[in-house]
Amino acid sequence: MIALGDVVAIHINNQPSIYARIEAIEPDIKPRWFQVKLLLLSFPPQEVSWILRREYIEGSPFTMNDTPVQIFPVKRAGVSRPSPLAKGGPKGAEVISMSRARDKKANGKKTGPDDGDPT
């Protein structure tokens, strides 16, 4: 199911129309229906509340005033790839002191990984 904070694309009349962010999903008084607060990512942004079934939130087509509507989740860039920083960085990488590199450059010494100075 789509979660809070997810961005969705809303298609109206089978055409991509607007992006929205899910602000809240709460049970409605009617069984199997939910009150969904959406922040429409327009200029200016607008908050709307729709009462939807779970299957509509998950992408099944529905109608509003006889107009076809469908909600599609937008994939987040890079979610499937773990961050290299989360694992402690790439193997073999080293931290270079910028102040030491500046001092070497000011003194005329060569800087870089092959300068012969491991520090």
Predicted confidence (pLDDT) per residue in 3-53, tens digit: 899 999 999 999 999 999 999 999 999 999 999 999 999 999 999 999 999
Cβ neighbourhood burial of 86 (10 Å; 0-12, 13-18, 19+): exposed
DSSP annotation of 109: -
- Residue 56: per-residue pLDDT: 96
Structural domains of the chain, count: 1
**Cβ atoms of residues 26 and 35 within 8 Å:** yes
- Residue 109: per-residue pLDDT: 63
Edge-first strand listing for the sheet containing 62-64: 46-53, 33-40, 15-27, 7-12, 67-73, 62-64
Within a domain: residue 113? no
Parent domain of 21 = 7-73
Q: What letter represents residue 114's amino acid?
A: D
Predicted confidence (pLDDT) per residue in 73-119, tens digit: 998 776 554 444 445 555 666 777 777 777 777 777 655 555 555 55
Within a domain: residue 97? no
Using a cut of 0.85, tell me whether the model's pTM lies above it: no
